[in-house]
Amino acid sequence: MIAPASPPPTSARDTILARIREALRVPAPVPHVRSHSAEQAVTPKAGGLPALTVLPAEVAKPWLPDGGDTPAERLRIFMENLEKLRAVPRRVPNLQSAAEAIASLAKERDWRRVAGHAHPLVEPVLANLPCGVERVDGPAGFDKNALEACDAGITACDAAVAQTGAILVSSRTCGGRGLSILPHVHIVVLRADQVVATVGDALHAARERAAGRMPSMLSFITGPSRTGDIERILVLGAHGPKELFVFLVG
Amino acid sequence: MTQLLPHPETDYPVVMLAKTQFLKDAAAHVRDSGHRAFVRKALGGYYTNRDLQKARYRDWEHARDAASLAKWSAVNRLDELLPRFVANFEANGGQVHWARDAHEARTIILDLLRAAKAKAIIKSKCMTSEEIHLNAAMEKDGYGVVESDLGEFIQQLRGEPPYHFVFPCMHVRRDEISDLFGRHLGSAPTDSPEELTMIARRHMRRLYVDADVGITGANFLVAETGQISITENEGNARLTAALPRVHISISGIEKVVENLDDLSVLLPMLATAGAGQPMTCYNTLYSGPRQPGECDGPEEMHLVLLDNQRTAILADPEQRDSLHCIRCGACLNVCPIFKNVGGFTYGTTYQGPIGSVITPHLRGLADWNHLSGASSLCGACTDACPVRIDIHHHLLHNRRNAARTAPSRLERLGHRLFVVAARRPWLFAAGGAMFRRSLGLLKALRPPLLKDWLASRDLPAAPASSFRGQWAARSRTRHPD
């Protein structure tokens, strides 16, 4: 008998995808769900196998924590959540007063160096500072050692989320990846109309802004860095900023 | 007949049977009331915060439906969504590597480290890397790696695996951490968690800046946009993915979700179920390496997609939903077994109820089926699961499958004898009477079969008559004819 030729070597990718297809030939039962609207989402596909249209965010929204229906409500919930997260929210009437408040903070804390990026909400603040300023924007890159030595980083944000008290920053519009995480203090300056209701709303807006190409990093920042790893006791400032100041303009 | 620890990929010396080790460690931990009290106290704050946050949901149960459906739909369309995710991720400039098993994953990562000429590696928390024993492999090849998550860092210094896959060092007291830091970092002793955290913070900052490779895990892979979602509280994963020149991420293939809508439901629920938070501190989406116009970020981003028996779970429609797991750890936090025997007793990468369900699939049913027996089937895990995995029924399924594939002769004999007796009421009554009389004798003699059981339990006093006898007597007094 002639030994059969050994099969051609298959790539790990092909093997795994073949295993997945083989595994899914037997359908799994559709999960038991309680809600009527969720049941409606379970619709049979043309092929006969039960398929599921994923619940649109609009269906799930009324079940998740409230993000507010009006701008005033969203602002109130957002500020409350920031307090609970131990961030420091400040409402200011205009950008000038934000710049003054941040300058006096720098003086009071004796900051030597502060980092920021090019943005209409950030530049006036940087210009008004009594200390050295490190700029991290632009494709040329910057020295991460210099950023590490900064006392504070000042950024704008893409959106703020009332539902969770989160700030959404991106690597494209908020000074890259390092600025909002490496300095010991993070200061965010935003307009009151940037506050959206839910995480889903913020992600939808980000997708629209991205126009087909998402920034390489999008990050929800929900309060100052924290850990509970030692005896489950909350400590602020594990590796990221110990303090998060949020200046709401307007 | 003896099968040794069967995980073929481990480089660790085989010490003893997984089940023998489990029984030994469980017995030791159960008697350690200090350990139990400490773990219970550590979890006390979690219960309060979780309930407070759950109350902020307008309907937690319906939100669980949404989360469960999102994961069901993704896992059952993995053949379609995984290639879609990969195509989108690659379009953004990321590189994907497929690994059939742990050995392949380790080889890929070591090759990447060689290509990057890695000198200093910083790593953020990643259970998949624990599953493939990555640190041991990297150290064997001469690469130094530092765990940056505080809990993982403490465990790395202690030379222990994580105790709990979300709270890695929840069993360690602060004075032990103070001693540990004193020995390894030369810090002064302190009993303040805050000061201990700052010691680790100061130690780690230079390491982030100097590292040339950063390794992270992944919580979700978003098919629609080709983004990787990473959930954390400390900011160490953000730093790990921001400063080094090369970013390597490791993920199981089951982490795919279809779109950002699904993610917007899963992110808050992961935080609430896992840690009692509205949202964890940093939830970050990475679509690839630094883009033109961005001022920092890695030049290369690699994603290692790991199968390692996940497709075996996928092939079992009954337990397929255990792939819905988002690793929040809620089932561990509520499990009476976990709270009594502790995390190390399991001897697995994934501890607690979900670990007991999936480990037999990952490492073999014959050697890990005992974990499914270590359950009171109270269902607390199933109630706590934010994506509604039917955990406690899967423990029963594992028991059934184990009985089918490798029936225990002793159990079979027992059942046969019971059938014989149950079919003959006179024999049943006679057997019962004999048992009642001999109960005191059993207690005194402690036969080998009962020795383990009697070691921590007391036999009750035998009633004077059988249930049937009592019932008959009762009926006579209540309804005298």
Q: Which residues pair with B282 in a beta bridge?
A: A221, B232
Q: Do B46 and A232 lie within an 8 Å CB cutoff? A: yes
Number of neighbouring beta carbons within 10 Å of residue A63: 22
Selecting from 3.90.1150.10, 3.90.1150.60, 3.40.50.10420, 1.20.1440.130, what CATH number does the domain A67-249 have?
A: 3.40.50.10420
The pLDDT value given to residue B283? 98
E strand or H helix at A200:
helix A199-210
Distance CA B247, CA B275 (A): 27
Q: What are phi and psi of B325, to 5 degrees?
A: -55, 130
Find where tokens 């490798």 sit: B406
Neighboring chain A residues of B73 at a CB cutoff of 8 Å = 51-54
The pLDDT value given to residue B443? 81
CA-based nearest residue in chain B for residue A56: B261
CA-based nearest residue in chain B for residue A213: B92
Distance CA B251, CA B246 (A): 17
Closest approach of A2 to chain B, Cα-based (Å): 31
The tokens describing B116, both together, are: 């990057």
Chain segment A67-96, per-residue pLDDT in tens: 999 999 999 999 999 999 999 999 999 999
Distance CA B109, CA B121 (A): 12
The pLDDT value given to residue B13? 43
Who's near B149: CB < 8 A, 6+ residues apart? Answer: A229, B124, B125, B168, B232, B234, B236, B237
Find where tokens 């007597």 sit: B473
Mean pLDDT of A205-211: 92
Q: Do B56 and A66 lie within an 8 Å CB cutoff? A: yes
Task: Judge whether residue A248 has pLDDT over 50.
Answer: yes
Q: Do A239 and B73 lie within an 8 Å CB cutoff? A: no
Helix (H, G, I), strand (E, B) or coil at B165: coil
Annotated domain spans of chain A: 67-249
Who's near B323: CB < 8 A, 6+ residues apart? Answer: B71, B75, B254, B310, B313, B314
Q: What are phi and psi of B364, to 5 degrees?
A: 110, 130
Chain segment B316-346, per-residue pLDDT in tens: 999 999 999 999 999 999 999 999 999 999 9
Contact A226, A236 (CB under 8 A): yes
Distance CA B336, CA B322 (A): 20
Q: Do A33 and B69 lie within an 8 Å CB cutoff? A: yes
Find where tokens 């890159």 sit: A141
Contact A164, A151 (CB under 8 A): no
Distance CA B398, CA B22 (A): 17
E strand or H helix at A226:
strand A226-227
Residue B100 has its nearest CB partner, among A12, A35, A138, at: A12
Q: Do A240 and B235 lie within an 8 Å CB cutoff? A: yes
Please identify every stretch of chain B with a pLDDT value under 50, giving residue numbers as ranges: 1-15
Contact B194, A247 (CB under 8 A): no
ipTM of the complex: 0.91
Number of neighbouring beta carbons within 10 Å of residue A140: 6
Neighboring chain B residues of A184 at a CB cutoff of 8 Å = none
- List the Cα angle A171/A173/A174 in 5-degree steps: 70
Closest approach of A132 to chain B, Cα-based (Å): 20
Task: Judge whether residue A8 has pLDDT over 90.
Answer: no
Closest approach of B169 to chain A, Cα-based (Å): 6
E strand or H helix at B60:
helix B60-75
Chain segment B410-439, per-residue pLDDT in tens: 888 999 999 999 999 999 999 999 989 888
Closest approach of B269 to chain A, Cα-based (Å): 9
Contact A225, A236 (CB under 8 A): yes
* Range list of β-strands (E), A12-170: 42-44, 50-52, 88-92, 113-116, 132-135, 152-155, 159-161, 166-170
Distance CA A204, CA B456 (A): 57
Helices and strands in chain A: count of H runs, count of E runs: 8, 14
The pLDDT value given to residue B447? 82
**Cα A233 to chain centroid, rounded:** 25
Find where tokens 């940037």 sit: A194
The pLDDT value given to residue A7? 61
Chain segment A148-162, per-residue pLDDT in tens: 999 999 999 999 999
Residue A178 has its nearest CB partner, among B61, B73, B242, at: B242
Please give the interface size between A and B, counted as residue pairs whose CB atoms are below 8 Å apart: 339
Q: Which domains does chain B have, with CATH numbers?
A: 18-22+328-397 (no CATH), 32-308 (3.40.50.10420), 409-478 (no CATH)
Number of neighbouring beta carbons within 10 Å of residue B435: 12
Neighboring chain B residues of A22 at a CB cutoff of 8 Å = 311, 315
Q: Could you tell me where the DSSP H helices lie in B276-390?
A: 310-314, 330-334, 336-341, 352-363, 365-368, 370-373, 380-384
The pLDDT value given to residue A44? 42
Neighboring chain A residues of B315 at a CB cutoff of 8 Å = 19, 22-23, 26
Residue A227 has its nearest CB partner, among B43, B98, B150, at: B150
**Cα B42 to chain centroid, rounded:** 18
Closest approach of B75 to chain A, Cα-based (Å): 9
* Closest by Cα among A57, A78, A66, A65 to A195: A78
Q: Do B243 and A178 lie within an 8 Å CB cutoff? A: yes
* Closest by Cα among B388, B383, B327, B404 to B358: B327
Q: What are phi and psi of A217, to 5 degrees?
A: -140, 135
Q: Do B209 and A35 lie within an 8 Å CB cutoff? A: no
Contact B225, B260 (CB under 8 A): yes
β-pairing, A166-170 vs A235-236, is unpaired
Mean pLDDT of A46-51: 41
The tokens describing B447, both together, are: 């036969």
The pLDDT value given to residue B440? 83
The tokens describing A2, both together, are: 């002639």
Helix (H, G, I), strand (E, B) or coil at A7: coil
Distance CA B392, CA B256 (A): 24
Q: Could you tell me where the DSSP H helices lie in A56-198?
A: 57-60, 71-84, 95-109, 123-127, 144-148
Q: If you write DSSP's letter for every residue of B135-176 in order, what string do you get?
A: HHHHHHTT--EEE-SHHHHHHHHHT---SSSSSTTTT--HHH
The pLDDT value given to residue B1? 31
pLDDT band at A3 (very low <50, low <70, confident <90, very high): low
The tokens describing B444, both together, are: 């005194």
Distance CA B243, CA B290 (A): 11
In this predicted structure, which of A95-109, A216-230, B394-408 has the lowest mean pLDDT?
Answer: B394-408
Residue A42 falls in which region: left (phi positive, over 0), alpha (psi -120 to 50) or beta: beta
Instruction: Considering only residues A49 and B220, tell me which one the structure prediction assigns the higher pLDDT.
Output: B220
Neighboring chain B residues of A140 at a CB cutoff of 8 Å = 295
Q: Could you tell me where the DSSP H helices lie in B292-346?
A: 310-314, 330-334, 336-341
Neighboring chain B residues of A165 at a CB cutoff of 8 Å = 278-279
Task: Judge whether residue A45 has pLDDT over 60.
Answer: no
Q: Do B98 and A16 lie within an 8 Å CB cutoff? A: yes
